[in-house]
Amino acid sequence: MKHVILNGNAISPSKIVCIGRNYVEHIQELENEMPTEPVIFIKPNSAISDIVESGGIEEIHYESEICFLVKKGGIAAIGVGLDLTKRVVQQKLKAKGLPWERAKSFDKSAVFSEFITCSSDLDSYQMELYVNNELRQHATYELMIYKPQDLISYISNDFTLVDGDIVMTGTPKGVGLLNLGDLLLARIYSGDELLIEKSWCVT
């Protein structure tokens, strides 16, 4: 089983529950329809990785997200994650009305920072992603269409969230293509306080 790090300890999520289309400007940049309820898809434990790969001839796009680790049915910890996406494959599947798994749930498609215990004051959190020292993505609680607590309740109607499961809350605008050698730097803040900083070099 693949694992993530929570407060220095290894945790193996049974699954990663991902939310699509949770930021208005990201919906607009990909010309998608506005959802009337959360869009849910799942990445398996086998998708977890601590490296970021460009995919070679198969284009892979980055999508950075505020992520929460679940314990006792609620939000216990926060981290930043990369939902890596085979965008061309996704577009072809969507055009045929087919599921997204090949584009979203492949090996090494879920990359995470360390997770740290978080407070219940979730509206203070924000995320930044820099690519080659340029700010590309910025996410805040206020910009989310569906808030984290509501997502936990909605997901739990259909899926049992067990200790260690991760919820990826969706990506803001600014997604883009990964290139070999790109340097990614992700940060999580509570207000102005830097809580998490993680960098990856694309291989």
Residues 113-122 pLDDT 10s: 999 999 878 9
Q: CB neighbours of 62 closer than 8 A, spacing ≥ 6? A: 52, 82, 84, 85, 129, 131, 175, 176, 178, 184
Can you say whether residue 143 is alpha, beta or left, with left for phi > 0 and alpha for psi between -120 and 50 degrees? alpha
Please, is 9 exposed, middle or buried when counting C-beta atoms within 10 Å of its C-beta (0-12, 13-18, 19+)?
exposed
pLDDT of res. 34:
83
**pLDDT band with cut points at 50, 70 and 90 for residue 32:** confident
| 3 state DSSP class of 153 | helix
Average pLDDT over residues 166-190: 97
Whether 59 has a pLDDT exceeding 90, the answer reads yes
pLDDT of res. 60:
97
If one counts the domains in the chain, the total is: 1
- Which of 122, 44, 125, 127 is closest to 81 using CA atoms? 127
Question: How far is the C-alpha of 91 from the C-alpha of 38, rounded, in Å?
Answer: 20
CA angle 71, 73, 77 (to 5 degrees): 35
pLDDT of res. 187:
98
Minimum mean pLDDT range among 14-18, 48-52, 117-121, 186-190:
117-121
Listed ranges 2-6, 89-93, 94-98; the one with the highest mean pLDDT: 2-6
- Which of 11, 113, 12 is closest to 67 using CA atoms? 113
Instruction: Assign residue 57 the CATH number of its domain.
Output: 3.90.850.10
Range of the domain at 129: 4-201
- The tokens of 161 are what? 């969230």
| 3 state DSSP class of 198 | strand
Q: What is the pTM of this model?
A: 0.96
**pLDDT band with cut points at 50, 70 and 90 for residue 26:** confident
Residue bearing the bigger pLDDT, 134 or 120: 134
